Structure 1
Amino acid sequence: STKLQTETAVTRRFLELNKNPVEGFSAGLIDDNDLYRWEVLIIGPPDTLYEGGVFKAHLTFPKDYPLRPPKMKFITEIWHPNVDKNGDVCISILHEPGEDKYGYEKPEERWLPIHTVETIMISVISMLADPNGDSPANVDAAKEWREDRNGEFKRKVARCVRKSQETAFE
Structure 2
Amino acid sequence: MVMLSWVSFWIDRRAVPARVPLGITTVLTMSTIITGVNASMPRVSYIKAVDIYLWVSFVFVFLSVIEYAAVNYLSTLQERKERKLRERVKLILMMLLLSCHHQVKFLICLILRFMTKYLQNYTISISLGCCFVTGHVGTSAYSNVWIDTHAIDKYSRVIFPGSYIFFNIIYWSIYS
Coarse TM-score class (shorter-chain normalised)? under 0.3
Structure having the higher Rg: 2
Return the structure number with greater strand share.
Answer: 1
TM-score (norm 1): 0.21
TM-score (norm 2): 0.21
Return the structure number with greater helix share.
Answer: 2
